[in-house]
A and B are shown apart, each in its own frame.
Chain A
């Protein structure tokens, strides 16, 4: 009977400790994670091809011309059909690589997935914030280890005292 009581109290305290630890951690470090998720309509995820075609009319016309004239460069098109280059303004950006990290924008689109872009951005443009987050993570781990052992020790001592008291009774 006493053994069962001792085991039950120990398990209860351990469970309580675990619950408090995990919940406190979640609320301490992810306080805003509990807000409501966005709820988008299915139509948002559908591509409207007609709108896209309308927007890309000039570019598609230039592309079709280049497909018919393989190997033509900008200079060649400028001589043969300059009207197709009206509004074409990406030459400088493409050539000097003025995009983020010195990478041209088209390579950003081609090379990196959307998560990759964010990860690289986090690791470069936001270095201080990333470092702080890393230090914060390490510090919180140390604090929680200390708290865990202190509280676990107290719980074990309390359980032991309860068992001793029960024995004495």
Chain B
């Protein structure tokens, strides 16, 4: 068998001696360097595996402790605490709630199951909600767009103020029944910072803020969501959702990512 042709350029020469050699062996353990030259075969393998070297980590599951706080315009308060589980492949979202009462909410691609402890579960038909969840968007690394490309909104203009890049969107006239007329999306350093919704008279009717981003590899997730709604008198209602103890790719609690009541 004739010897394989050699690459004319010594691409990996710096990785052949001293510390560079150790690093080289760590990065390219399956490739043998032939007198400092890469064979065409090895170079082909290198090109094939290159994407896996840099983008190998896939995030498909997420669990977290959550707290949802509410303060309504009428002064009433609300608090819900529990744990949330989501698997982007099965698209099953589970809430195990312990306050105000032990209960479970499970949202699958086609139904929602709820059960208060000690009672029979209630099942409702439903479809397509989880694809728009912050969990699904974050696990698919598309939280920054927030599904905007699939929305009926049309881009009006893009503006820059201080360190914010603000894009203004408008609903087309075919959706004239909607209370929301305009949306402004502000990004800071490429991350979603806040979303302001306006009615057709350009009055602000709600604001959402995305704070305390967690960054792990390619996974980026806001650990605090703040939603402020304004009623007709301009009185605000607040909703704050906090996530703690976020675990990615949890494989120890498989049962939590299935649709059964447990």
Contacts and interface: CB of A to CB of B under 8 A. Distances in A.
Contacts of B93: 111
A74 interface: yes
A113 B132 contact: yes
Which DSSP category, helix, strand, loop or mixed, fits chain B's interface?
Answer: strand
Given A30-B154, A45-B186, A55-B71, A62 B133 contact: no
B147 A115 contact: yes
Contacts of B126: 101, 103
Contacts of B151: 115, 118-119
Contact of A120 (B70, B107, B128, B196): B128
Nearest to A32: B173
Interface residues of A, number: 64
B133 A113 contact: yes
A101 B112 CA distance: 11
A93 B72 CA distance: 13
B166 interface: yes
B80 A94 contact: yes
B69 A102 contact: no
Interface stretch (A3-11, A129-137, A152-160, A161-169): A129-137
Contacts of A136: 174
A50 interface: no
Interface stretch (B2-10, B18-26, B43-51, B206-214): B206-214
Interface residues of B, number: 87
Interface in A16-53: 29-33, 37-42, 44-47, 52
B76 interface: yes
Interface stretch (B27-35, B197-205, B247-255): B197-205
A123 B241 CA distance: 26
B238 A71 contact: no
Given A73-B99, A102-B124, A97 B114 contact: yes
B230 interface: no
B240 A52 contact: yes
Closest A-B pairs by Cβ, 5 of them: A116-B132, A90-B78, A74-B100, A133-B174, A37-B156
Interface of A: 29-33, 37-42, 44-47, 52, 55-56, 58-60, 62-63, 66, 71-75, 87-91, 93-95, 97, 101-107, 109-122, 126, 129, 132-133, 136
8 contacts: A56-B240, A63-B79, A101-B126, A109-B227, A111-B107, A114-B183, A116-B147, A129-B176
